[in-house]
Amino acid sequence: MRVRLKPLREQTIVITGASSGNGLAAAEAAVDRGAAVVLAARNAEALNRIAAGLSARGGRVAVCAADVAEPEGVARIGEAARTAFGGFDSWVNNAAAATYGRIDAVPMADHRRIFDVNYFGLLEASLLAAAHLKARGGGAIVNMGSVLSDRAMIYQGPYSATKAAVQAATDTLRMELEKERAPVSVTLIKPGSIHTPYPEHARNFMAAPPRLPPMLYDPRLVADAILFACEQPRRQIYVGGSGYLISLMGRLAPRLTDLAMEEFGARAQQRPGDPGDPAKRDNLYEPTRDGSIEGRQDLHVRRHSWLLEAQKNPLALPLLAGMAGLEALSAAAERVARGPQRSGRANRLAK
């Protein structure tokens, strides 16, 4: 059964984790394209401030301060959408939590917390959304995975594990809805390193402040992928050629990828100097300062992804696929070129 989705201007979209990063970028883009938006996150103050700004731009916006990991948190978000707009047409599961550090350095309670947010919260929301959309006559579920759904990253074990679980649950839900011919699209978005406050928000167990390994991509590219999936059914969408290269390497040369991560993983994920905004650090259990789309890493940020365009435009696939390949190769070359510039200081920090 072919799933038909409404144009964005006719949709109400629920976005979890909407107070910063990819979620906030998606909310702004959705409002600009005429959709009504339900913003969900834990930080009520940030949500209200964001909603006021979007409303001033003519946006139709509702907010729900809720933790998807808490009992009734997901149900409250769904109820907020029904109260404000009579329901929803797309549900975007973007809320996430993370740590940096050796897997044996992370307390078991923190492992469980990350699964409660990233996996169980997403699963509960996906099931609620599926039931609502079947009754409504159709719609889209968009889940935020990662290139780490395909390939675990050293020193991001709990987060990688949840994203692998998210991929399995998303694929299972898609198959089961398709088998019953339900008019519901289920998409998994797989970003690479995106220039969000993710490193500042993560709980850190390393000796130095965490960072995202280059190449970094604009969060608005993730927003573009999310909103595309709200209108056009897709199985999965990668964002960023550099991240896709990690997924590809993990499949084609898993042992070589292991060795590369063991050698360079610590340096790539630690940065000397500015640790970011202290008010944003460690939101694992309690919200911290929110409201920023981009993080503070002082690195070049790519504002375009040929790989993303190739996935959105299948008729132009041969040309765009070639450009996407060049993007991945140039990202890899830049990563190699940057490595020696930072290795001395990073090596000292890693010891």
Active site residue 159: yes
Rounded to whole angstroms, the Cα distance separating 117 from 50 reads: 22
Mean pLDDT of the chain: 90
Q: Where are the domains of the chain?
A: 9-350
The model's pLDDT over 141-154, given as tens digits with 9 standing for 90+, comes to 999 999 999 999 99
Catalytic residue among 100, 159, 198, 244: 159
The pLDDT of residue 345 is above 50: no
43 backbone dihedrals φ, ψ, rounded to 5° = -90, 95
Rounded CA Rg of the chain: 19
| Cβ-Cβ contacts under 8 Å for 301 (sequence gap 6 or more) | 195, 216, 217, 218, 294
Host H or E run for residue 145: none
Structure tokens at 34: 């005429």
The model's pLDDT over 195-217, given as tens digits with 9 standing for 90+, comes to 999 999 999 999 899 999 889 99
The model's pLDDT over 46-72, given as tens digits with 9 standing for 90+, comes to 999 999 999 999 999 999 999 999 999
User: How many CB atoms sit inside 10 A of residue 347's CB?
Assistant: 12
Q: Smallest Cα–Cα separation from 218: which of 306, 300, 143?
A: 300
The model's pLDDT over 226-238, given as tens digits with 9 standing for 90+, comes to 999 999 999 999 9
Q: So what's the pLDDT on residue 339?
A: 52
The pLDDT of residue 348 is above 50: no
Q: Which of 39-48, 256-265, 289-298 has maximum average pLDDT?
A: 39-48
Amino acid at 85: F
Amino acid at 92: V
Where is pLDDT greater, at 342 or 151?
151
Measured between alpha carbons, how far is residue 33 from residues 29, 60, 119, 126, 320 in Å?
6, 11, 30, 24, 25
Q: Smallest Cα–Cα separation from 246: which of 235, 256, 257?
A: 257
Cα of 329 vs its chain's centroid, Å: 23
Count how many residues are written for the chain: 351
CATH code, residues 9-350: 3.40.50.720
pTM for the model stands at 0.90
The pLDDT of residue 252 is above 50: yes
